[in-house]
Each structure stands twice: as structure tokens, then as C-alpha cells.
């Protein structure tokens, strides 16, 4: 099974693709979509959609795991983050790929054993699990968070459990009527 992990952001969206073969995970690809902060927010959302679509076409994932925004101090920032997540989910769901959402604590606990781990601890464990060399400049915190999300999903699949999964966009809307305005 090939899993696309996504760490959505309105300025930097991390992605990571992992092949899950039984109990083994193998790195396929990872990176960060750097979006120009001077562009209108709507244009950045389209870029997230378009660029993730290219990743999907190139890697052909079977499933997607995405980190969900949970809380924040600034409502405007949370709104932008939620929109970035929606743009990413739409790119995936339009290709009929099931999406599962995970909280940051679930992801951190799955990869490090500690739901309150720092981003640097997650980065270290992702490098270790997937044997990524220290000198690879592409593995920043956004990409490592996306890979950690894919690994979290792989671990969950190994145990037979699931969180929130949607087979298509209409299923997401049915399960989340409060998110429609």
C-alpha cells in the first residue's frame, strides 16, 4: 500500500509518500510546497491543489493521511489552515483516494511514543525509521511531519484501526455538516 501523508499549511505544505509492506515502511518521496506569502490566499489554495495533484499522479497513492488542525490562538490563522487542509483533501478525494485525519498528538505518539514530542524529536525519529541521511536539505519540519503522518497511518493499518476516513468528497460533507457554510 502506498500512503500519502500531508501536513497542510497556507505557506508551507509538507508531503511524504511511504510504501507500507506489512510491517515495513519504505520511503518513496517527500518535499515541501513553498507558497509565496505575497500571493493571495485563494491563489495559494489553488497551488496546493495543483501541486499535490501532480504528486498524486506521480506516486499513485492508495490512501492518504492528513494532519488535522486542532487548535490555535489566532482564529484567522486557523481559518487559513483549515482551508489549506480542504484544498489538499479535495486534490486527494477527487482521485477517489480515501483520506484519514489524525491529530498532531496521534501522529507524534505513533512515531515517537510521546504525544507531546517536539517537532525536532519527530524529525529525528522519521529520519531514523526511514533511514534518511542527515545531510538531505529537503527534510525540513514540514516534510518530516507529513512523513510522520503517513507512518502513523501505516502503524494504524498494521493494527487494523482507523480514525476518520472518507471515500469521496460527498462522504466528507455528510459526516461534517457543521463545516459547510
Q: Look up 67 and say whether it is catalytic.
A: yes
**Which position among 50, 57, 63, 67 bears the catalytic label?**
67
Nearest Cα residue to 29 out of 1, 69, 56, 68: 56
Q: Is 62 in the active site?
A: no
Q: Which of 63, 106, 142, 145 is catalytic?
A: 142
H, E, C per residue of the chain:
CEEEEEECCCCEEEEEEEEEECCEEEEEEEEEEECCCCCCHHHHHHHHHHHHHHHHHHHCCCEEEEECCCCCCCHHHHHHHHHHHHHHHHHHHCCCCCEEEECHHHHHHHHHCCCCCCHHHHHHHHHHHCCCCCCCCCCCHHHHHHHHHHHHHHHHHHCCCCCEEECCHHHHHHHCHHHCC
Residue 7 is a catalytic residue = yes
Among 7, 63, 106, 145, which one carries the catalytic annotation? Answer: 7
CB-count burial class (<10 Å; 0-12, 13-18, 19+) for 92:
buried
Mode of pairing for the β-strands spanning 63-67 and 24-34: unpaired
Residues tagged active-site: 7, 67, 142
Amino acid at each position: 500500500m502506498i500512503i500519502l501523508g500531508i501536513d497542510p499549511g497556507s505557506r508551507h505544505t509538507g508531503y511524504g509518500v511511504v510504501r507500507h509492506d506489512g510491517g515495513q515502511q519504505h520511503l518513496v518521496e517527500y518535499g515541501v510546497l513553498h507558497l509565496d506569502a505575497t500571493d493571495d490566499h485563494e491563489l495559494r489554495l489553488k497551488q496546493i491543489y495543483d501541486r499535490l495533484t501532480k504528486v498524486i499522479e506521480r506516486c499513485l497513492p492508495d490512501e492518504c493521511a492528513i494532519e488535522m488542525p486542532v487548535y490555535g490562538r489566532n482564529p484567522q490563522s486557523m481559518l487559513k489552515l483549515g482551508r489549506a487542509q480542504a484544498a489538499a483533501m479535495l486534490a486527494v478525494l477527487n482521485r477517489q483516494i480515501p483520506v484519514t485525519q489524525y491529530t498532531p498528538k496521534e501522529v507524534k505518539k505513533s512515531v515517537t511514543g510521546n504525544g507531546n514530542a517536539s517537532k525536532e524529536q519527530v524529525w529525528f525519529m522519521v529520519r531514523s525509521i526511514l533511514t534518511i541521511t542527515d545531510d538531505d536539505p529537503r527534510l525540513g519540519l514540514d516534510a518530516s511531519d507529513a512523513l510522520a503522518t503517513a507512518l502513523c497511518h501505516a502503524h494504524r493499518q498494521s493494527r487494523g484501526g482507523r480514525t476518520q476516513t472518507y471515500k469521496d468528497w460527498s462522504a466528507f460533507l455528510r459526516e461534517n455538516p457543521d463545516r459547510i457554510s
